Structure 1
Amino acid sequence: MTLRSCLYRGNIMHRRLRPTTHRFRYRAFWLLLDLDEMHLLASRLRLFSCNRFNLFAFHDADHGDGSATPLRLQAERCLMQAGIDIAGGPIQLFCMPRTLGYDFNPLSLYFCHRHDGQLAAVIYEVHNTFGERHAYVASVAADTGTIRHDCGKAFYVSPFMSMDLSYHFRLNQPDEHFGLGISASSGGETVLGACLTASRHELSDQALLSSFAAIPLVTIKVILAIHWEALRLWLKGLRLHGRPQSSPHAITTVPPSPQHRIDSHAL
């Protein structure tokens, strides 16, 4: 049986434009995991486990609402709340694996397909450093090439970013290459842009080991980078925005958006 799950290696770049400029870039790798293949992956790979310790692992509680409810069922409930029915089609999760027991994903992406393989929706699951999560659920047009979504910010992420922002997502379906661009704007002006680019590799023990050798402790690297860049922003004099009370709604349904061009200077 050929696995649909695979590994991606690439780079992440962030660029802040206002009220001061700030930019950083780092290497990382991710897994694209078919949620129906989890136990098969764990049985085939020595360096990857499902819901138990290993060099790399996937724990259901690291995603969704953190409960014991199967993650696929949780994703389907999110879709149904947004009026999307994939009728049992495959769901693939793009995320960083838990590494030596530690997990942190600033953003995880669920690619939700109908039974015929057509992409029906994307779930953008945002994680902040306070242990909270929020899902933006967005449908995908059947004839789309580049996928674009717009929505208002509904979840507190960074103390250096206000809540009065709009997000603009641009991405392609994961294939030999995967690209994701996100910009945040306020009053029609771009405040921040982020870009992820990655290339596909077979998911094997050898690929996992070489990824660990090239980029060790990737999830720890990400959380350290977040705090290091926060310190740099604070030293640049950026003011802090208070953390609002969390919304009781962990899901935001993204309305269909007209096609538009994202500010290329932010990406």
Structure 2
Amino acid sequence: MTKFTKSAIYTGWVRHRRFLPAKHEFTYKVYLTWINLDEVNKLFTKGPLLSRSKWPSMIAFRRKNYLRSSKEDLLQACRAKVSEDLSFDFDGEVCILTNLQYFGLCYNPVSFYYCYGKDENLKAIIAEINNTPWNQRHSYCIDMREKNYKDFDKDFHISPFMPMDINYHWAFGPAKEKLAVKMQNFHKEKQMFDVDMQLERQEWSTARVLKYSLLYPLIPLKVIWGIYYQALRLKMKKVPFYDHPKLSADEHKEPSHG
């Protein structure tokens, strides 16, 4: 385990910008946890503060909130996902950049799984997307062995204010003292939307996790409220609304792991 794969806290900001068909922009502060899967059992005991159990834990890391898979072990689920989607295997650690579960509630618009080799180099990133109100999940795998970006077509409905015929350009900086992610949406070769995330690392401690949990209370509710508030603003700007395409229930069913 290296200095930068140890569990930590990242704080910073996220900016959303829409360029077409109407301009729309907002920025908000974020607090995210960087969890090394090898440290989960050590960091999350069965106490009332940091736990792997169900409510009434204040803060929890629960398997069911992450990566649909037939595999109970989350690390093995990540290995299987990369092997299936990218046709290669990695043999190192996995760190998740995510929101935890707070007072029984958890919602992540996206969680990023950073997959490392034993040579300590980043091999792949899994981006697990959640949408609301449909409560569906979808994962994209990005090969990070030779370049830090990926261009690909959208195949999962997230926002009803975004069409399906979108091309993505996602770029990732290294997860060190600072961490950056940029996600761009192009429609008919014109940039329609982008998201910038800029974070700075802090060492993990229970006291620091509790501090930021108090500074950012009820994170899942704030995230969901923010999504609907921005949707209302887009509606008022008369941005076109796109219905959810018909998707099979089996493809996006929730995991059964507890």
Asked if TM exceeds 0.5, the reply is: yes
1:134 correspondence with 2:143: no
Contact 2:45–2:52 under 8 Å retained in 1 = no
Could you give the per-residue CA deviations for residues 217-255 of structure 1, whole angstroms, max 9, x where no partner exists?
1221111000110011111111210101226667xxxxx
Computed over aligned residues only, the root mean square deviation of the Cα atoms, in angstroms, reads 2.1
| Map of 1:225 onto structure 2 | 226
Residue 49 (structure 2) aligned to one of 47, 50, 68: 47
SS of the residue corresponding to residue 36 of structure 1 reads helix
Query: Structure 1 CA distance, aligned partners of 2:25 and 2:194?
Result: 10
Residue 109 (structure 1) aligned to one of 84, 106, 112: 112
Residue 100 (structure 1) aligned to one of 96, 103, 107: 103
Map 1:228-247 → 2, pairs under 5 A: 228-246=229-247
Query: Structure 2 CA distance, aligned partners of 1:197 and 1:83?
Result: 30
1:57 correspondence with 2:64: no
Contact 1:28–1:218 under 8 Å retained in 2 = no
Query: Structure 2 CA distance, aligned partners of 1:5 and 1:241?
Result: 39
Query: Structure 2 CA distance, aligned partners of 1:228 and 1:78?
Result: 34
1:6 correspondence with 2:8: yes
Map 1:203-222 → 2, pairs under 5 A: 203-222=204-223
Contact 1:45–1:204 under 8 Å retained in 2 = no
Query: Structure 2 CA distance, aligned partners of 1:140 and 1:66?
Result: 22
Query: Structure 2 CA distance, aligned partners of 1:94 and 1:208?
Result: 14
Contact 2:153–2:167 under 8 Å retained in 1 = yes
Change in Cα spacing, 1:59 to 1:44, as seen in structure 2 (3 Å) is: closer
Query: Structure 2 CA distance, aligned partners of 1:29 and 1:224?
Result: 17
Query: Structure 1 CA distance, aligned partners of 2:71 and 2:78?
Result: 13
Contact 1:120–1:141 under 8 Å retained in 2 = yes
Q: Which ranges in structure 2 are unaligned for 5 or more consecutive residues?
A: 253-258
Map 1:111-190 → 2, pairs under 5 A: 111-129=114-132, 130-142=134-146, 144=147, 147-190=148-191
Map 1:23-42 → 2, pairs under 5 A: 23-42=25-44
| Map of 2:255 onto structure 1 | none
TM-superposed deviation, 1:189 = 0.6
TM-superposed deviation, 1:77 = 1.0
SS of the residue corresponding to residue 214 of structure 2 reads helix
Query: Structure 2 CA distance, aligned partners of 1:46 and 1:203?
Result: 18
- The sequence identity of aligned pairs, in percent, is 28
Change in Cα spacing, 1:185 to 1:45, as seen in structure 2 (3 Å) is: farther
How many pairs were matched up? 246
TM-score, normalised to structure 1, is 0.86
TM-superposed deviation, 1:51 = 3.6
